[in-house]
């Protein structure tokens, strides 16, 4: 199936749910959906297009909103599904019921951007340490690193 055919099929299947569909390079499709439609779109992709593999989930801080991109791929095509969440209330539904392997990336998203993933089966921290202060999300643009004063036992300072 060529890229153009897939685009036509996607438009027919998901017409209303896709806000935007771009095709910047061969084999790369970027879809945009509202946060509420995420689960439905993923479900359709999985059932009708054989999308079972999630490479990762990227978060991007765009100031007023957070953009998150799910990078799916099949042997023929890459689907990048994006959605935008308001910064004030960053909630998104977990897709781990459809793709169990997504949990790891959703945990990473929670750690790094403070996006709350609803109904995630395992909400513990993944990459940040246990004593990391609450409310600090390193990959947000307004977060700046301040090196804490290091206390070395037996050291001079």
Phi-psi region of 67 (alpha: psi -120 to 50; beta: other; left: phi over 0): beta
Smallest distance from the beta carbon of 23 to other proteins, in angstroms? 13
DSSP at 68 = E
Cα 9 from Cα 12, distance rounded (Å):
5
Scanning residues 104 to 143, which ones bind other proteins (CB under 8 A)?
A: 104-105, 125-129, 138-139
29 pairs with which residues across the strands?
Answer: 79
For residues 36 and 19, the answer to whether their CB atoms sit within 8 Å is no
Is 56 a residue that touches other proteins (CB under 8 A)?
yes
Under the binding rule (CB under 8 A), the answer on residue 19 touching other proteins is no
Find the binder of other proteins among 52, 97, 119, 136 (CB under 8 A).
52
| Residues within the interface to other proteins (CB under 8 A) | 24-25, 27-28, 30, 52-56, 58-61, 69, 71, 73, 75-76, 78, 80, 99-105, 125-129, 138-139, 145, 150, 152, 155-157
């Amino acid at each position: 199936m060529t890229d153009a055919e897939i685009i036509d099929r996607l438009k027919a299947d998901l017409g209303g749910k896709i806000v935007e569909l771009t095709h910047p390079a061969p084999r790369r499709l970027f879809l945009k959906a509202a946060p509420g439609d995420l689960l439905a779109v993923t479900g359709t992709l999985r059932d009708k297009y054989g999308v079972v593999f999630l490479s990762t989930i990227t978060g991007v801080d765009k100031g007023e909103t957070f953009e998150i991109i799910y990078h799916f791929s099949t042997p023929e095509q890459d689907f990048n599904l994006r959605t935008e969440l308001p910064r004030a209330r960053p909630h998104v539904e977990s897709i781990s019921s459809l793709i169990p392997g997504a949990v790891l990336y959703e945990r990473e998203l929670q750690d790094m951007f403070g996006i709350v993933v609803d109904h995630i089966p395992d909400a513990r921290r993944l990459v940040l340490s246990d004593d990391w202060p609450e409310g600090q999300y390193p990959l947000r643009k307004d977060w700046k690193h301040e090196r804490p004063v290091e206390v070395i036992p037996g050291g001079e300072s």
